Amino acid sequence: MYNFTFYNPVKILFGKGQIANIAGEIPTSAKILVTYGGGSIKRNGVYDQVVKALAGHNFMEFGGIEPNPRYETLMQAVELVRRERVDFLLAVGGGSVLDGTKFIAAAVNFLGDPWDILAKKAPVTSALPMGTVLTLPATGSEMNTNAVVTKWATKEKLYFSSPLVFPKFSVLDPETTYSLPPRQIGNGIVDAFTHVAEQYLTFPANSPLQDRMAEAILATLIEEGPKTVQNPTDYDARANVMWCTTMALNGLIGVGVPQDWATHMIGHELTALHNLDHAQTLAVVLPSLLTWQKQQKREKLLQYSDRIWHITDGTAEERIDQAIAKTRDFFEAVGVPTRLSAYGVDTSTIPTIVQRLDQRGMFPLGERRDITGDSVEQILALCA
C-alpha cells in the first residue's frame, strides 16, 4: 500500500425528507444564493421543499446552470454574488450544478482571472462555504473537492480540485430522483462504475481492502442499477445506487492505490467537441481502453473477471475479453450505448482530440504513464 492522506469532512444527510433539515446546517445570518439548473427542481417539488426549509433565511436564486456547466454562465453568478454580498451557496441539482457552484465559490474572491483556476491550475486560496441538495446520483461531486467546467467559446472542458470547495453538507434524498429521465439514471450508473474502474482496474498494489471495497460498489451497481432503471420509485434500489455513486468518488477507495483517469481525460474531449453526455463518453472509451491495455492491467482484469463477473471458463485472455464484453453489455443494459457510431460520431476528430490533450500537457496518461498520443489514437479507433 502506498502512503496516503485521507480527509473528507462533508456531512451527509441521507434519506427521505432530509431537505427539511438543511436550515440547521446554514448559519442563520447567512445571505444565501440557491443555484440550480434548467428548472426541473421547480416541477418535481424539490424547489418547494428547499424554499420551505429556508423559511426565515435570507436567500436569492440563480438558475440556468447547464449540463457541462459553462464558464460564461458561472461568471454571471460570480458577479451576482459579489454585487449582493452573498456569503453561502446552496447548490440544488446534479453534478453540473454542484461543480458549477464549486467554481463560483472559488472564483468569487480569486485575485486575477478565474479562468486560470481551470486553465493554469492556479491555486484556490479561499472559497465561499456551500451546501448541496443532490438530485442526480452520478458524479460524486456532493462529497469531494472536484469540479469540471466548460468554456463554451473555445469548447474547453477542464477541471480543478481544492479542499476549500468540500461542501459543508450534502443532502441525498433518493425520492428527489424519482422524476429523472431514464437516460440520466443510466448515465449516473455508468459514471459511478467508471469512477471505480479508474481507481481499481490498474495494477496490484497489495491493497486488498481497497480492492474489495471497489468490488463492493461495482457488484452493488450491477445488482441494483437495472432495478432502478426499470422501477424509478423502488426506494431501496434508488437509495443503494445513490449511495454507491457517492462512495465511488469520495476518495475512500482510491487511498494508497495507483489510479488511471485516462478514460475521463479522453472522454472530456469527446464531450467538448461532440456534446456527448459525460457518461456516454465513458461508456464508449472505457471498454476500448481496457481492451487496449489488456496486458498492462492483466492481473486486475483477471481479478475483476473472477470476483465481479464470476467467469471461470477459458484462458486468461478469454476471461479478460469476456469481462470487458460483460462491462460493455452492462452499460448497454442500463441504456448507455458504447460505440461512437451510436451517437452519430465518426473518427474524423481523433487527431484533434490527441492534439488538444497534448496542448494541455496531458501525456503520458494512465496509471503507468504509458498512454501517449499514439495510444489515444488507437484506443479511439476501437471506439468507432
Q: Which residues bind a second copy (CB under 8 A)?
A: 1-18, 206-209, 212-213, 215-217, 219-220, 223-224, 236, 239-240, 243-244, 247, 252, 255-256
In this complex, which beta carbon is closest to a second copy, that of residue 107 or of residue 222?
Answer: 222
Of all helices (H) and strands (E), which one includes residue 315?
A: none
Report residue 337 as a C-alpha cell: 450505448
Complex with a second copy: residue 208 or 351, whichever CB lies closer: 208
Q: Which distant-in-sequence residues (6+ apart) come within 8 Å of 6 by Cβ?
A: 251, 252, 255
60 vs 209 by CB, closer to a second copy: 209
Quick check: 136 and 93 in contact, CB under 8 A? yes
Nearer to a second copy, 237 or 284 (CB): 237
What distance in Å separates the CA atoms of residue 279 and residue 283, rounded to the nearest whole number?
6
Find the shortest distance in angstroms from Cβ 216 to a second copy: 3
CB of 123 to a second copy, least distance (A): 17
Q: Rank residues 204 and 364 by Cβ distance to a second copy and give the closer one.
A: 204
Strand partners, 130: 89
Q: Give whichever of 233 and 341 is closer to a second copy, judged by the CB atom.
A: 233
Smallest separation (angstroms) from a second copy to the CB of 144: 14
Pick left, alpha or beta for residue 270 (phi over 0 → left; psi -120 to 50 → alpha; otherwise beta).
alpha
CB 203 within 8 A of CB 209: no
- Whether the upstream peptide bond of residue 364 has omega within 30° of 0, thus cis, is yes
Tell me the backbone φ, ψ of residue 157, rounded to 5 degrees: -110, 110
- CB of residue 15 vs a second copy: minimum separation in angstroms? 3
CB of 11 to a second copy, least distance (A): 4
- Compute the least distance from the CB of residue 177 to a second copy, in Å: 14
- Sign (positive or negative) of CA dihedral 98, 104, 105, 106: positive
Nearest to a second copy of 206, 231 (CB atom):
206
Q: Could you tell me which of 231, 225, 242 has the C-alpha nearest to residue 335?
A: 225
Q: How far is the CB of 186 from a second copy (least distance, A)?
A: 19
CB 310 within 8 A of CB 299: no
314 Rama sector, left if φ>0, alpha if ψ -120 to 50, beta otherwise: left
101, 61 Cβ separation under 8 angstroms? no
CB of 381 to a second copy, least distance (A): 36
Please, which residue, 98 or 117, has the CB nearer to a second copy? 98
Q: What is the DSSP-derived secondary structure letter of residue 54?
A: T
CA distance to 67, 81, 143, 201, per residue, from 170 (Å)? 20, 21, 7, 29
**Residue 21 Cα distances to 44, 53, 55, 97, 176, angstroms:** 19, 7, 12, 21, 15
Residue 59 backbone zone (phi > 0: left; psi -120 to 50: alpha; other: beta):
beta
**Grid coordinates in use for 123?**
491555486
Q: How far is the CB of 134 from a second copy (least distance, A)?
A: 14
Nearer to a second copy, 164 or 213 (CB): 213
